[in-house]
């Protein structure tokens, strides 16, 4: 799964680091580092982190279809 954190919104509350520690890590006091290409096995943890974020800074895929698939579909149409 793919995700991105809007680090302008992020205020270092670190709820994500508690709920999905293999994906989100605090670096120093406030800076968040994360894995943008999180393992699919972590999806439930990541979705809990998304829900728990006080400023709703975590954006995850709403569609997993890669571009290549879209291209193939467009070509078939």
Partner 1 sequence: MTVDGSARAFRQHGRVVVVGASLAGLRAAETLREEGFVGALTMIGDEPSEPYDRPPLSKQVLLGKVPADGTALPRRRALDAEWRLGVAATGLDLTGKRVRLADGQEVGFDRLLIATGTRARPWPRETEADLDGVFVLRTADDAARLERRLAARPRRVLVIGAGFTGSEVASACRERGLEVTVAERGPAPLVGALGGVIGAVAAELQREHGVDLRCGIMVTALEGDPAGRLKRAHLSDGTTLDVDVAVIALGAMRNTEWLAGSGLGAGPRGVACDAGCRAFDVHGIVTDDIFVAGDVARSPHPLFGYQFLSLEHWGNALAQAEVAAHNMISSGPDRRPHLWVPAFWSAQFGVNIKSVGVPPMGEELIVTQGSLAERRFAAAYGHQGRVIAAVTFDHARWIDFYREQIESAAPFPPVFANVDRRPEGLRPVGADFPDPALPTHGPTVTLSGYSPSERRVTFTPARA
Regarding 64 and contact with partner 1 (CB under 8 A), the answer is yes
Q: 55 with 14: CB under 8 angstroms?
A: no
Give, as ranges, the residues between 5 and 34 that touch partner 1 (CB under 8 A). Answer: 6-8, 10-12, 27-34
Q: What are phi and psi of 40, to 5 degrees?
A: -60, -30
Smallest distance, partner 1 to C-beta of residue 34, A: 7
Give dist(CA 13, CA 33) in Å, integer.
13
> Looking at the DSSP assignment, which residues form a beta bridge with residue 62?
none
- In the DSSP assignment, the letter for residue 41 is G
If one asks whether residue 39 binds partner 1 (CB under 8 A), the answer comes out as no
59 binds partner 1 (CB under 8 A): yes
Residues that bind partner 1 (CB under 8 A): 1-4, 6-8, 10-12, 27-37, 59-67, 70-71, 74
């Amino acid at each position: 799964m793919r995700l991105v954190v809007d680090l302008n919104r992020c205020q270092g509350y670190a709820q994500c680091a508690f709920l999905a520690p293999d994906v989100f890590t605090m670096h120093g006091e406030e800076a968040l580092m994360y894995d943008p290409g999180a393992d699919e096995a972590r999806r439930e943890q990541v979705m809990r982190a998304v829900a728990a974020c006080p400023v709703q800074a975590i954006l995850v895929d709403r569609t997993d279809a890669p571009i290549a698939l879209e291209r193939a579909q467009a070509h078939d149409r």
